[in-house]
Amino acid sequence: MLSPLGEVLATDRGTLDLADADAVRRLVREARPQAIVNAAAYTAVDRAESQRDLAMRVNALAPGVLAEEAKRLGALLVHYSTDYVFDGEKRSPYLEADAPNPVSYYGVTKLGGELAISASGCRHLVLRTSWVYGPRASNFYQLIRRKAAANEAMLMVDDQISVPTPSAFVAAHTVALIRKQAAGLLHLVPSGQATRHEFALEVVRSMKSGSTVEAVPSDRFPSDARRPRYSAMSNANAARALGQALPDWRTLLAMNRELA
């Protein structure tokens, strides 16, 4: 993703534990980067309700440490946040200026990371995104794809609405925003919105699968954490920063042959 911008030092969970603040600080001071991109997070939304200390250290405290070190170095910090900072009570796309009010502890920790970065005074670009999917790792798209490949019947909730976002879209537009020296808080999602049921239907159609997809309410799948019923975000500010309209999520799904 970042190689066109210069030399990249990449870490993973095996080489850097984000829950270890001292290790995070030590690595940044050794590397002395011009830019820090934090693409890692504690993303187990339900487990965060019981693993609160770990979720807070990874999602809130570690970004705060990265921000402090970025400020000391004069470096840019790019950080990814989430639509789950909102409570879902709105019925039109959330704007960057809308007040966050998370309904899950995961959302609380992600908002904590945003606030720590803002309070540090470092040069930063915080990108909120939603329902990120891709060809690797475990995600909602991969679950649907496996079921569709086996022609399995599916039950998908139709009362949670957000914006499905390909990981490749996030990567490409992150580089573009860095090149344009964008800063502050932006919502980086495609255009449009969907329920999980609508997204599943689109994947099934794209695969020409025989799977049926039945719409059901969220209470058919009890969970430890609450999820916002509506968390679609407006990408108007990101589009303005990029100088171009951003494509609809359906177009991106259809275009990406590796995924569709």
Active site (catalytic) residues: 106
82: enclosing H helix or E strand? strand 76-82
DSSP state letter for 137: S
- Measured distance CA(55)–CA(43) in Å, rounded: 8
Contact 188/173 with Cβ under 8 angstroms?
yes
Residue among 22, 35, 125, 24 nearest 73 (CA): 35
Backbone angles phi, psi at 155, to 5 degrees: -115, 120
205's CB contacts (< 8 A; 6+ apart) are: none
The letter for the amino acid at 180 is: K
Q: Are 36 and 8 in contact (CB under 8 A)?
A: no
Among 135, 244, 147, smallest CA distance to 196 is for 147
Q: Residue 154's beta-bridge partner residues?
A: 213
**66 vs 3, 38, 59, CA distance in Å?**
21, 8, 11
Q: Where would I find the H helices in 98-235?
A: 105-120, 140-149, 167-179, 196-206
CB 54 within 8 A of CB 105: no
